[in-house]
Chain A
Amino acid sequence: GAGVSQTPSNKVTEKGKYVELRCDPISGHTALYWYRQSLGQGPEFLIYFQGTGAADDSGLPNDRFFAVRPEGSVSTLKIQRTERGDSAVYLCASSLGQPNEQFFGPGTRLTVL
């Protein structure tokens, strides 16, 4: 079956712009996670959804970052007023409940010029 997909695969934007990153989880997976990963670092937790609600958003670095999952399936990570320090690979993962094995998407590489 289909795995986790993320779009776009690459996004180049200018400092100060707004970006949206999309994640399509595995069908039926109730838990969805967003991470960001910089080169040579581990995945940094951003936010976790259980169904439609954000069960833990304590990893969001500041109020420029926001994520939604309105129907309990697809999720969108939104970043306002992007900064060069936001450049990273943004990973999405889903699982059948929590805690359980996470299945990761291929990531979106965000570059802020």
Chain B
Amino acid sequence: GENVEQHPSTLSVQEGDSAVIKCTYSDSASNYFPWYKQELGKRPQLIIDIRSNVGEKKDQRIAVTLNKTAKHFSLHITETQPEDSAVYFCAGEDMRFGAGTRLTVKP
């Protein structure tokens, strides 16, 4: 399956700062790149996804950027809030997940 690597594994930011999480993938034919958020004790939920026909997609404070040449895509969260604290996962088109990034937003 698709090999997806995610960095960093942990990220701590102050409330109001931005957070960026990056994933690299191996299959140049991939066309779908989702990001999931999993709060403690809960199920993963999609927060944003992008398809390869666009380079960026935004939804309020969340954005995803895609660089097909370099084979990486990134999650950007602006004006972080304590409720953004969770584990974030990227996935490949074959729906195999990255190892996750634990984001902590300090008030």
Contacts and interface: CB of A to CB of B under 8 A. Distances in A.
Given A56-B1, A58-B1, A99-B95, A43 B46 contact: no
Interface string B71-100: 000000000000000010100011111111
B94 A56 contact: yes
Could you tell me the dominant secondary structure of chain A's interface residues? Answer: loop
- The SS class assigned to the B binding surface is loop
Interface string A85-105: 000000101000011111011
- Counting chain A residues whose Cβ lies within 8 A of the other chain, the interface size class is 20 to 34
B96 A45 contact: yes
A41 interface: yes
- Using C-beta atoms within 8 Å of the partner chain, give the interface range for chain B: 20 to 34
Given A91-B44, A104-B44, 16 more contacts: A33-B95, A42-B87, A42-B98, A42-B99, A43-B44, A48-B94, A58-B1, A59-B96, A99-B31, A99-B34, A101-B49, A102-B44, A102-B46, A105-B43, A106-B43, A107-B43
Interface of A: 33, 35, 41-45, 48, 56, 58-59, 91, 93, 98-102, 104-107
